[in-house]
Chains A and B, each alone.
Chain A
C-alpha cells in the first residue's frame, strides 16, 4: 500500500528516552499525547483512494426463519457495487467462532438474535450503502424464544442450535447448554454438618458492555495475488486470521493483517466483527472496502459480559471458619458460543474466591439463548462470581456478628493453599494483607459537600442535577477482595512470539521489537521498549506495527500480555544479547580475558562485566551487522479441568485486588455517589508504575459502572436490546468517578518474567461488590442484583 494513496495506517513508533527508560520506570506512552490532542489515527480514520463503504444489514427480530431475501432493489441503486448474502459466500466454510465454529458469517435460513448480520452492501458512499441496505427486503417467520434457563431447558424447548457436533455436546445435560463444569472437592454434605451458621443467596448480574472507545472498524484492500490486506482494530490478529482465511477460501498467507489504531477493547474485540465482511466485499468488488460501525451498531457488533444468576450457600463455624460452599452459576451465553466455555471454566474454578474452603460442590453452566451473544469481558467469569461470594461473606459476617474484613482475613488463602481444583497456589497470595491495607487507610471526612455557607452538589448524590443539598444522604462503607487467573487456562497452548533486531543506525545502537501484540491500551508499546532497554542496554527502541508477518502474540486479554508477550520480548532480547556477545567475543575476545570468563551485560550502549568494567561499545561490536531473533515463548503449561470433578492444574498465575468503597446514598431518591474506592493490589513487579496505576484505576471505575449504572437491557418478551446507545447505556463520567487511592504491592512470582503479575482485570472484580457492600451498609437493604438502580433503593422497581 503506497503511502501517497492512503492515510491513517499505522507507522513505526520510535521511542527515545531522556532517562534510562528501562523496566520499573514510568515511561510515557508514545501515543498518549496524540490521543489526548485528537491526533491519533483510529482504525475508523483510515482512508484509501477509490475505497468503498461497507454496510451490514442486521436482523430486526431475535429468533426467526428467513423465508426470503430480496436484494434486487438494493442492487439497482446507483453507487452500489455489491450486495452479499449467505448464498454469495465463496468457501465451503461459512462459520467462524473463537472456541466453537457456530457463528454464521451471514445468517443462513435463520437468525438467532436481535442484530445478527444477514446481508452486506458495498457502495461508493456510506449513506448510499445505508440506504441500499434498507432496501433489502427480508421476510421473517418468527420462532419461539428461549431467554433464560427455565425456557432453554424446558421440555420441548426450541433448540438454538440443532445438530450440535462440538466437543462439549457430549457432556452437557441439554443441547441449549454450551458447556458445564462441575467442581467437587471434599464432601460438602458432611462438612455442612459442622456449620453453626449457614447463609444462602440468589444473585443476579446484569449484562455489561465493554463500551470501548472507537467502534469496530477496518479497511480491507484486495491484493494483486488474489489475497487481501486487512487493517483492523482487534485484540488478537492471529486468532482473527485463523477464522477469516477459511471462510474467504484463502490460505492464511494470503490474508495479511495489520493492527490499526485501537481505542480500547476490554474483551469486546476478541470476536470477529467486520473483518470477514470487509474482506468479502473487497474481494468481490476488487476495491478497498472500509466498514465503520457507529455506536448504535457497535452494541450489536460485539459480545457483552455474560449476565448471570448465581446461587450460593456458605457455612461457617461459630468462630468464623468456613465449613463448606455450594454454588451454581448460570451464565447466559446468548445465541452463539463465543468464549462461553472458557468463561464457564473461570467462573467455576474461581467461584470460591480467595478463600480456603476444603469441601465444595460447584457447578457452572453457560446457556444458549436468543439473547445477544456474550463472551469475553475484563474479569471473564470471575467478575460475576466475585459479586456473589463477596455478598455472601458480608451476610455471613452479619450473621456471625463478626467484622466483615476479619472474617475474610480469617479464611484468606495464602501461598500453599489448595484450590478446589486441587491446584496449589505456588506464588505469593497476600489476600489478608491487601484487605488490611485498604481497611487501615483513614476514611475520607464525613459530609465533604458541606461548607459553612451551603453545599457543593458536585460532591453529593445526583451531582449537577441538584437533587439534594444533604437531605436523605447516608454514608456506607464496604469491602471486597477477589481472585483472577492470569493467562489462558485449561491446557491452552498460550504462547507469544517476539522478533527483536539490534543494529547501528546513525552511529547509535537501536533495537527494533516486532510482535503481533494488539495494543488496546494495556501499555505493551511502552513495556516492550522498556524491556529492550533493560536487556540490551540501548536507548533508542523502535516498536514495529503489529501484524501477521511475525508469529502470534496471543490475545490482549486475560491480563496476559505483559507476562506472555513481555516474556517473549525478554526472551528474544536475551537471545539477541547472546548473539551480540558472541559477535563481540569473535571480534574482541582476545583483547580481554573477561570476554570469556565474566558474566557480561549490555548497558548504556556498551558491553560491561558484572563488575562494571567496560569491554567495548555496541557500535563497534555490531558495526554494520544486524542481529535478529524471532522466537516463541511459553509460560508453564496448564491442564484441562476434569469434566466430572473439575480437578486439574488449570491456571498459570493469580492476581489479587481488594477494595474499600465509601459511598453516600440519597436514600429517598435512590441516587448514589461513590466518594472513594481505595484499592490494594499485588502486581509482582510494576514494570511501568504509571501504567499500573492507570490499569487499576480504570478497572476500578469499570467495576463501579456495573455496580450503579451500566446494563444492557434486553426485553424478556422479544429478546431485543432496548438501550443500544450511550444515551441510555450509561457509563461513569468524571463526576461519578471517585478518588481512587492505590496501594501497590510487589511480591515477586518466581515463575514469571521479572516476577510480574498480570494486573488488568483483578481491580474490576472487587470494585463492584465493594460498592454494593457500601450501599447495603448505608441503606440496610439486601440488594442481590447489580447494577443497583434507584428503583431498587426506593422500593419502586
Chain B
C-alpha cells in the first residue's frame, strides 16, 4: 500500500487523478477501522491532513461552506446557530476522541446509511462540493447517495466541502441506539423547518439502503401546514397531523433485521422520533422552545 501525502489541494486532486483507486483519508475514524479489520486493502491511501483548507469553514449570507475535514467537535462548538441539526447529530457521533478527528467528508465518502450526519444534511438541505482536475461541481444532497455505501462521486473526484443552508427555522435530530452514548445508530431522524419557503424537510438514517428523506411525510405535512394556516397562526400542531406525519415517516423507512435491531423496531422508532422531533421544532417555532442540556 502506498501512502500519498499531498501538500496542497491541487496536489491532492492531481494524485487522485493519477490514482483513481486511492482512498482518501482524513480523520481515519472509518478508513482505519476498515483497514485494521482487513475489510479493504486499498492500493493507495491519499492522506488529506496536510490540506489545511479542508478544516476551515465560511459562514456566508445563506449557506455555510463546511470543509470536508472540519471535525465534529468544531461543528458542535462553533456552528450551533447556523447548523443546529448537524450540531446535534455531531454530538451523537461516537466518543469525544472520534469527534475530534472525524468530519462530514468522511460520512459522505463512506456513504453508510448509518452515518450520523446524513439525516441532518438531508433535512437542512445542502450541496456537496466535489472537485477533480477536470473542475468543480455541486451535487445536491438528494442526488448524492446512490446505493449502499455508494455515492455520486466520480473516481477522480474528492469532496471539498458541503454548502449547507443556514437554518432559517428550528431543527432537530434524534438517534436511537441501545446505549446512552457512543453507539452506532439503530436508526436516526432529522427534521428542519424552513419558514422562509414554508416547507419541512426530513432525513432518515439506518432504516433503508441509503440515507433517505421521508418524502410522502414531508408532502403531507407541507400541505397540512399550508391548508391549516399554521405557518402564520403558529398555532399548536394538531395531534392528528403529527400522528399522520409520523406514520408516513415510518412508512418511508425500508429497514432490515440485523444484529443492531429488527426492521419492525426501526420502522416503529422512526415514527416515534418523527412525531417527537416535529413537536419539538414546531414548539420552538411557536416560541415555546425549551432548552436541552447535554446536547450540542
Interface of A toward B, CB cutoff 8 Å = 130, 294, 296, 451, 453-459, 461-469, 471-472, 668-671, 673, 708-709, 713, 722-723, 727-728, 730, 732-736, 789-791, 794, 796-797
CA of A451 to CA of B294, assembled, Å: 13
Query: If the complex has contacts A466-B92, A723-B259, are A709 and B276 also in contact, measured as CB distance less than 8 A?
Result: no
Question: CB within 8 A of B180: which of A669, A728, A736, A794?
Answer: A736
Query: If the complex has contacts A464-B180, A465-B92, are A453 and B290 also in contact, measured as CB distance less than 8 A?
Result: yes
Question: Is there a chain A Cβ closer than 8 Å to B134's Cβ?
Answer: no
A797 contacts B292, CB within 8 Å?
no
Shortest distance from the beta carbon of A58 to any chain B beta carbon, whole Å = 14
**Which residues of B, 173-206, contact A by the 8 Å Cβ criterion?**
173-184, 186
Choose the segment among B10-18, B44-52, B230-238, B267-275 that binds chain A (4+ C-beta atoms closer than 8 Å): B267-275
CA of A669 to CA of B92, assembled, Å: 17
Question: CB within 8 A of A457: which of B260, B264, B293?
Answer: B293
Residue numbers in A under 8 Å from B295 (CB-CB)? 457, 464, 466
Question: CB within 8 A of A462: which of B88, B180, B267, B268?
Answer: B180
Question: Is there a chain A Cβ closer than 8 Å to B240's Cβ?
Answer: no
Q: Mark B266-296, 1 if CB is under 8 A from A, else 0.
A: 0111001100100010000000001111110
Closest chain B residue to A791, Cβ basis: B265
A466 contacts B293, CB within 8 Å?
no
B276 contacts A467, CB within 8 Å?
yes
Q: Mark B247-264, 1 if CB is under 8 A from A, else 0.
A: 000000000000111101
Question: Is there a chain A Cβ closer than 8 Å to B227's Cβ?
Answer: no
B183 contacts A465, CB within 8 Å?
yes
CA of A464 to CA of B94, assembled, Å: 10
CA of A331 to CA of B290, assembled, Å: 50
CA of A455 to CA of B280, assembled, Å: 12
B181 contacts A735, CB within 8 Å?
yes
Residue numbers in B under 8 Å from A467 (CB-CB)? 174-176, 273, 276
Closest chain A residue to B293, Cβ basis: A456
CA of A668 to CA of B273, assembled, Å: 10
Query: If the complex has contacts A464-B92, A669-B269, A733-B179, are A469 and B38 also in contact, measured as CB distance less than 8 A?
Result: no
Residue numbers in B under 8 Å from A733 (CB-CB)? 179-182
Shortest distance from the beta carbon of B38 to any chain A beta carbon, whole Å = 7
Question: CB within 8 A of A466: which of B174, B262, B268, B291?
Answer: B174
Sample of 28 A–B contacts (CB below 8 Å): A130-B38, A455-B291, A459-B294, A462-B180, A464-B91, A465-B181, A466-B175, A466-B292, A466-B295, A467-B174, A467-B175, A467-B276, A472-B272, A669-B272, A671-B180, A723-B259, A727-B184, A733-B181, A734-B181, A735-B180, A736-B179, A736-B180, A791-B262, A791-B264, A796-B264, A796-B265, A796-B268, A797-B262
CA of A709 to CA of B179, assembled, Å: 7
Shortest distance from the beta carbon of A735 to any chain B beta carbon, whole Å = 4
Question: CB within 8 A of B293: which of A130, A454, A461, A708?
Answer: A454
Question: CB within 8 A of B294: which of A457, A471, A794, A797?
Answer: A457
Closest chain B residue to A797, Cβ basis: B262
Query: If the complex has contacts A463-B180, A465-B175, A465-B183, are A722 and B292 also in contact, measured as CB distance less than 8 A?
Result: no
CA of A728 to CA of B259, assembled, Å: 7
Closest chain A residue to B173, Cβ basis: A466
Question: CB within 8 A of B178: which of A466, A468, A469, A730?
Answer: A730
Closest chain B residue to A708, Cβ basis: B178
B37 contacts A296, CB within 8 Å?
yes
B181 contacts A736, CB within 8 Å?
yes
Question: CB within 8 A of B176: which of A456, A671, A709, A730?
Answer: A671
Residue numbers in A under 8 Å from B183 (CB-CB)? 465, 730
Residue numbers in A under 8 Å from B38 (CB-CB)? 130
Question: CB within 8 A of A670: which of B37, B182, B265, B293?
Answer: B265
